[in-house]
Amino acid sequence: MNILFVLTSHDQLGDTGKKTGFWLEELAAPYYVFKDAGAHVTLASPKGGRPPLDPKSDEPDSQTEATRRFQADKQAQEALANTVLLSSVSHEEFDAVFYPGGHGPLWDLTNDADSLTMIQSMFAAGKPVAAVCHAPGVLRHAKRHDGKPLVEGRHVTGFTNTEEEAAGLTKVVPFLVEDALRQSGGNYSKGPDWSSYVQIDGMLITGQNPASSVEAAQAVLKLLAEQKQQKQ
């Protein structure tokens, strides 16, 4: 079982002068859901090397058992310091792809040609495509083989407008995830702010916020297990 994580390489929070990047918990928690299930995990990003960490996700209040484990894990830290170039990997090498959020992906991964190719190729091959929190925004320009938006008519979720408002970044982000998914024809729904809420539609798995990252990863494992069973 080979799982690809795609992380952002973008570190500027709009014109605020502040830093952004990926959200630590949304990488760490799913990482161990997969690792503990025996999966081989590859971390990739558009620019390769160490991806920028959203400093807010590194604050004491944002730490969980998974983030502490990740920070103390030499193998995980080595993988994070040396993410592979996204352009150097093929969908054929992986059984599923997982996109952690943080605000960074809204700027680079949404429009990244290699990211779009990965999403579209994995989806066309019938492999799980998962994204949590802000990362469902990377689906904004993804297309199906017939040229229609990948999310059109599909049940999806992602960071809510009210959660973005609470974060105080509604006017800073290039677009709102909830609005973008709706505009692309997605059947968007949400749970209570900051609570785990995941939508599964075929091989497309989306999670609303950081709290949804474990449930989203578990959904990927379930789909892979079902696929394996069908092949037997």
> Which tens digits make up the pLDDT trace of 108-121?
999 999 999 999 99
Residue (of 1, 4, 20, 46) closest to 174 by Cα position: 20
**Mean pLDDT, all residues of the chain:** 96
Q: Is the pLDDT of residue 222 over 90?
A: yes
Mention the CATH class of domain 2-231: alpha beta
One-letter amino acid at 20 equals: T
Q: Give the full edge-to-edge strand order of the sheet including 2-6.
A: 84-85, 40-45, 2-6, 96-99, 129-132, 204-207, 198-201
* Distances in whole angstroms, Cα of residue 2 to Cα of each of 90, 92, 108, 135: 12, 10, 24, 20
- Residue 161 has a pLDDT of 98
Q: Whole-angstrom Cα distance, residue 182 to residue 205?
A: 16
User: Predicted confidence band at 231 (pLDDT cuts at 50, 70, 90)?
Assistant: confident
pTM of the model: 0.97
Instruction: Say if residue 232's pLDDT is above 90.
Output: no
Residue type at 11?
D
Give the pairing type, strands 96-99 and 2-6: parallel
Domain ranges for the chain = 2-231
R_g over Cα of the chain: 16
